[in-house]
């Protein structure tokens, strides 16, 4: 296809596609799906080889969020039966992080529900960052705490944070339909604050909330303009007890086309498959590794993910390798600009999800699970292990 050849050439040159080209990727047919994946994979391999970066979420504070983000299981008014607990102590968070690092993760994403941190919260998270880095000197730490006030990003950076996650989630035109307690501009401002403080910016989107193709393209082009080092792509899990509980709009093929479009628009950026990969990509998860170069290991914020061992087996079986702690994620030109190459996940699970990351993940498939390609509500399970519980984490 001339379209795909053009997009590959542009991706190898770091040239931005046109909006029409990006929309055309989303409009391709299932018959052309493998051609789309093959083309986007050429761009992925050029910039990132066959490496897969592993990230691990630690939910520092779960539930009871005052914001009304419609996709989020921790939102104001949510009746989802998620874990609810206040701040983990630094040693508890460090212990939780150690499980993910032992499983091969090189980045720990520290997430807390809420509109944004108070200065006391920043002190708490700073102590947690220091506790983790005392045990694991080379680990990358990304914080995801909501909207930042002036000076807070600088304090997190001084404490040892490498990155900050705050997702745009959807297009500016539709943002007010999803959230009313803060604005799209508030989110953009927080990403700017992270950049200005010298943190590696991580910002992504949630697909499947009833948006149009144009909205997906709008938000990805807005992300390209913000120039984050990492773009998490979340696939909505319609969690019971949230306003979007009935929005089952995604197929595995649709998810792959979205990931391919993101890769073409952001060719040299860490594209992370975040929340919902198990639920929506299902058996096509290995194909997605040809598009994205980063995933979360194990569980998410408020829901369970694929077993960590299964994640590692999937990566190996697909012919990829886990990125080592001594390897730089980003291509050299981006690593230099980022000040050392922490290539960087919250809404559904960006760096995690302060507001929605709990909506992603999956439980093991039941023996009598339907084989048809309809909504798979059986794949959504609330997290009952790991941080905030007495049970061992999934890593």
Give the pairing type, strands 107-112 and 51-61: parallel
Active site residue 109: yes
Among residues 72, 144, 266, 360, which one is catalytic? Answer: 72
Query: Phi first, then psi: what are they for 96, rounded to 5°?
Result: -65, -40
Among residues 124, 157, 202, 342, which one is catalytic? Answer: 202
Q: Any idea which residue has 């059986």 for tokens?
A: 378
Query: Residues within the annotated binding site for [2Fe-2S] cluster?
Result: 109, 142, 202, 272
Among residues 65, 266, 342, 351, which one is catalytic? Answer: 65
3-state SS, residue 358 = helix
Among residues 69, 144, 255, 342, which one is catalytic? Answer: 69
Among residues 44, 257, 263, 272, which one is catalytic? Answer: 272
Query: Residues within the annotated binding site?
Result: 65, 69, 72, 109, 142, 202, 272
H or E element in which residue 59 lies? strand 51-61
Measured at the alpha carbon of residue 380, what is the angle toward residues 354 and 106, in degrees to the nearest 5? 50
User: Alpha helices, DSSP H only, in the chain?
Assistant: 2-12, 19-26, 33-48, 90-102, 119-135, 152-159, 175-178, 184-196, 213-226, 252-265, 285-288, 308-317, 332-338
Active site residue 266: no
Active site residue 202: yes
Among residues 75, 107, 124, 142, which one is catalytic? Answer: 142
Active site residue 157: no
Active site residue 360: no
Among residues 75, 107, 109, 334, which one is catalytic? Answer: 109
Active site residue 224: no
Query: Residues within the annotated binding site for [4Fe-4S] cluster?
Result: 65, 69, 72
Q: Which residues of 311-320 are buried (b: 16+ CB within 10 A; e: fewer)?
A: bbebbeeeeb
Active site residue 142: yes
Point out the residues that are catalytic.
65, 69, 72, 109, 142, 202, 272
């Amino acid at each position: 296809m001339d379209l795909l050849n053009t997009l590959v050439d542009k991706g190898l040159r770091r040239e931005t596609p046109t909006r029409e080209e990006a929309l055309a990727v989303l409009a391709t047919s299932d018959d052309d799906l493998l051609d789309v994946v093959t083309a986007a994979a050429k761009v992925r391999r050029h910039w990132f080889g066959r490496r897969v970066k592993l990230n691990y979420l630690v939910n520092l504070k779960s539930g009871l969020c005052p914001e009304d983000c419609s996709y989020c299981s921790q939102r104001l008014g949510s009746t989802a039966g998620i874990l609810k607990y206040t701040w983990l102590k630094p040693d508890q968070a460090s212990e939780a992080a150690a499980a993910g690092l032992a499983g091969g993760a090189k980045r720990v994403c520290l997430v807390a529900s809420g509109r944004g941190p108070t200065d006391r919260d920043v002190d708490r998270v700073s102590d947690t960052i220091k506790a983790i880095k005392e045990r694991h000197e080379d680990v990358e730490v990304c914080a995801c705490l909501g909207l930042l006030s002036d000076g807070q990003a600088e304090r997190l950076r001084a404490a040892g944070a490498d990155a900050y996650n705050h997702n745009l989630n959807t297009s500016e035109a539709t943002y007010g339909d999803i959230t009313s307690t803060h604005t799209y501009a508030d989110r953009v401002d927080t990403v700017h604050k992270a950049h200005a403080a010298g943190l590696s910016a991580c910002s992504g989107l949630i697909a499947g909330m009833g948006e149009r193709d144009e909205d997906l393209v709008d938000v990805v082009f807005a992300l390209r303009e913000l120039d984050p080092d990492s773009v998490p792509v979340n696939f909505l899990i319609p969690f019971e007890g949230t306003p979007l509980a009935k929005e089952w709009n995604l197929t595995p093929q649709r998810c792959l086309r979205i990931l391919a479009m993101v890769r073409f628009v952001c060719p040299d950026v860490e594209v992370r498959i975040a929340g919902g990969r198990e639920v929506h990509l299902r058996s096509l998860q290995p194909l997605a590794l040809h598009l994205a170069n980063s995933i979360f290991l194990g569980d998410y914020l408020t829901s369970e993910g694929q077993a960590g061992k299964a994640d590692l087996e999937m990566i190996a079986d697909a012919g990829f390798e886990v990125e080592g702690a001594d390897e730089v994620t980003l291509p050299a030109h981006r690593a230099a600009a980022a000040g050392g190459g922490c290539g960087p996940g919250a809404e559904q699970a960006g760096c995690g999800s302060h507001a929605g990351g709990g909506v992603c993940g999956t439980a093991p498939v039941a023996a009598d699970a339907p084989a048809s390609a309809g909504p798979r509500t059986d794949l959504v399970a609330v997290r009952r292990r790991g941080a905030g519980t007495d049970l061992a984490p999934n890593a």
